[in-house]
Structure 1
Amino acid sequence: MNKEKTHILLAEDEPALGMIIKESLETRDFKVTHCLNGIQAYVAFESCKPQIAVLDVMMPELDGFSLAKKIRLINEEMPIIFLTAKSQTEDVLEGFHVGGNDYLKKPFSMEELIVRINNLLSRQQTQQTAAVYQIGDYSFNFPQQRLAYLTQEPIKLTHREAHLLYHLLEKKNTVLDRTFILKKLWGNDDFFSGRSMDVFISKLRKKLAQDSQIEIVNVRGYGYKLIVP
């Protein structure tokens, strides 16, 4: 039986560039749905159920960031890559804040895009353990991405929050290397990825704040340490 092809949602408003990307990905055995604006892409997302999205930032009707926000309301786990001509720090950070997993600055090589797609898919498919972990007074269900304090209702973590907490827990009371986790979850350790990770660390601190014995401390120059009793 033939393996089902990975379905990519491509939103690119430049028809010629979109066709080049679509044909290049199809030669690598991906299935590609190409849309010319954000609204069309959102309709395709709802109907086609893709495994990964490649979104241009500057699009008519609905821009890539706004499209990503709408997608994240329904699907928190699907990898999203932004294609952008923007390189300002605030633009790239906004891309991460709205749920992007990676970005590529135009012009880019098709080989680089394909490598990044495969890396994100590989990380998503990493086998997950079924264990539920105790973190002080919290229970952490990694596969279900849920964090619960004592008997309170569990809260849902995003895909990246859950994986970051899992790796912190693996290294509890020791330092989680900053470069390692950036390359593992963000794909690179550049400035923008580092800023994005700092945001996610802040979010986890807030979600673990009900147990005063738990801390996530910044070990300057090395990484982060999850301190648990």
Structure 2
Amino acid sequence: MSKINVLLAEDELALGMIIQESLESRDFKVRLCADGQKAWESYQGQKPDVLVLDVMMPKKDGFSLAAEIRKIDPHTPIIFLTSKSQTEDVVKGFGLGANDYVRKPFSMEELIVRIKAHLDKIRVRQSQSDWITLGKYEFHPTRQLLKLGEIETPLTARESQLLQMLLENANDITDRTLILNQIWGSDDFFNARSMDVFITKIRKKLQDDPAIKILNVRGYGFKLVC
């Protein structure tokens, strides 16, 4: 099995080297960059499996770097590793397309678990050519179908994309802005209204299993509980 390729951007050199050595001792391959500009150049030279980004960095901060990457790459997991823990910072990070936000100080085991969890979601998405169990339902992303017993319900392409994204983060929050940017292409007001309509449609198509809920987490996004 090939090593997981991590691009680590951390301007505190001592901390960066500790993280690098800890990850490499667990069979990761790590490219350490001391500022956001070098990380951007490294990303362009060789796309990593996952990005771990400090927020406060010289030349290009982590938020700016993530925004540039998300313009061309909606899928590679981005994990912010930072001491900026105010709610507005977390919301901004997820709004820019981050998949996770790890606050300093942190344990290496926690970081590793989070990296592997996000890569597992990618593998699931790439291998989804069969039916996926969703409560009493079965969901086929590529055929855009929901099945309850012998009854099949067709989904539109956008409904299928939205349900798949919620399912990848089942029992966790899927960021509202991330959904809009990845599926609708922008997070403007009209797309946001459209997304709310699609959420309502999906809820109706899942209503025969009361254990499945799509919750609106105000100010953050949606949570598929199943």
Global fold match (TM > 0.5):
yes
Query: Does the CA-based 8 Å contact 1:132-1:139 persist in structure 2?
Result: no
| Partner in structure 2 of residue 102 of structure 1 | 100
Identify which of 59, 62, 65 aligns with 2:63: 65
User: What SS is found at the alignment partner of 1:33?
Assistant: strand
| Partner in structure 1 of residue 81 of structure 2 | 83
Closer/same/farther in 2, CA of residues 182 and 204 from structure 1, 3 Å limit: farther
Q: Kindly state the Cα deviation for residue 197 of structure 1 after the two structures are TM-superposed.
A: 5.3
Structure 2: runs of 5 or more not aligned:
131-141, 147-152, 181-186, 216-226
User: What SS is found at the alignment partner of 1:132?
Assistant: coil
| Partner in structure 2 of residue 132 of structure 1 | 143
CA RMSD of aligned residues (A): 3.5
User: What SS is found at the alignment partner of 2:53?
Assistant: strand
Q: Quote the sequence identity (%).
A: 44
| Partner in structure 2 of residue 22 of structure 1 | 20
- Aligned partners of 2:196 and 2:84: how far apart in 1? 35
* Number of aligned residues: 181
Matched, 1:41 2:39: yes
Closer/same/farther in 2, CA of residues 162 and 59 from structure 1, 3 Å limit: farther
What amino acid is aligned across from residue 128 of structure 2 in structure 1?
Answer: Q
| Partner in structure 1 of residue 91 of structure 2 | 93
What amino acid is aligned across from residue 87 of structure 1 in structure 2?
Answer: S
Cα deviation per residue 1:178-219 (whole Å; 9 max; x = unaligned)? xx8234xxxxxxxxx47x35984996761474x8x83658x9
TM-score, normalized by length of structure 2? 0.68
- Aligned partners of 1:205 and 1:36: how far apart in 2? 41
Q: Kindly state the Cα deviation for residue 100 of structure 1 after the two structures are TM-superposed.
A: 0.4
Identify which of 171, 183, 203 aligns with 1:182: 171
- Aligned partners of 1:58 and 1:45: how far apart in 2? 18
**For residues 204-223 of structure 1, what are the structure 2 equivalents within 5 Å?**
206-207=194-195, 209=197, 214=201, 216=203, 223=213
- Aligned partners of 1:101 and 1:85: how far apart in 2? 17
Query: Does the CA-based 8 Å contact 1:81-1:100 persist in structure 2?
Result: yes
